Amino acid sequence: MVELPFTDRVEAGRLLARGLSRRQIGNDAVVLALARGGVPVGFSVADRLHLPLDVIVARKLGVPWQPELAMGAIAGTARILDSRMIVELRISDEDIEEIVSREQSEMRRREHLYRGGSPPLDLNGRTAILVDDGLATGSTMRAAVEHARTLQAAKVMVAAPVGSVQACARLRKEADDVVCLATPEFFYAVGEWYRDFRQVSDTEVQNLLAEIRHKIESVNAV
């Protein structure tokens, strides 16, 4: 059991790394952090477990007239849609494609920005550990799981410090393993389980990815 709320994402990542260390994780594993909030958590996990870190830019697909309400999510070529919501709200195919196109453009822009032109890590035959700072509905993480599968990851693990009971249960059906340190019964938003939940900047994401890359390069050079 962990004590909530977490101090910040860095502390949550350290505790998550401890939980992951009890699992069977091979030396070929890769940590993939969902940008932006998942990156400080993923950095702590990768640093503690001495694993490479990459980023996944998963984008929520908001309802046209209520963008904060998610009707799905995308990550890479993967697309998750809530077909029941789409039918109930009578959202047209044209509206969906317009929103997907817009979010794909933003996704590609951020991926290029965060990696600084470096190629994504190869997942073929490797264990992919997908990390976020929390799982509310789990829609973006579900898209990330599907994306990792399309990249031929041999095993896909989901790891988060905190998540709703419903999201974690759903992801256990789709990922090979799920590590969620806390699943509070009453879950409103991820931020309520952190004392410090300030927004993560693009610059912070770039710096953390560069720092872990430098550490790994230094170790490999020895």
Give the pLDDT mean for 74-80.
96
Task: Kindly report, residue by residue over 25-70, the tens digit of the pLDDT.
Answer: 988 999 999 999 999 999 999 999 999 999 999 999 999 999 989 9
Contact between residue 13 and residue 42 where contact means Cβ atoms under 8 Å apart? yes
Query: Domain map of the chain by residue range?
Result: 9-221
- Number of residues assigned to the chain: 222
Which pLDDT band, with edges at 50, 70 and 90, does 220 fall under?
confident
Q: How confident is the model over 110-143, as pLDDT tens digits?
A: 999 999 888 999 999 999 999 999 999 999 999 9
Residue 222 is predicted with a pLDDT of: 63
CATH of domain 9-221: 3.40.50.2020
Note the pTM of the prediction, 2 decimals. 0.95
User: Number of H helices and number of E strands within the chain?
Assistant: 7, 8
Q: Where are the beta strands (DSSP E) in the chain?
A: 30-34, 53-56, 58-63, 66-75, 78-81, 127-131, 155-162, 177-182
- CA-CA distance, 160 to 72, in Å (whole number)? 20
Rg value, the chain, Cα: 17
pLDDT in tens, 5-28: 999 999 999 999 999 999 989 889
Hey, how many other C-beta atoms are within 10 angstroms of the C-beta on 115? Answer: 19
Q: What are phi and psi of 94, to 5 degrees?
A: -65, -45
**Cβ atoms < 10 Å from Cβ of 124:** 8
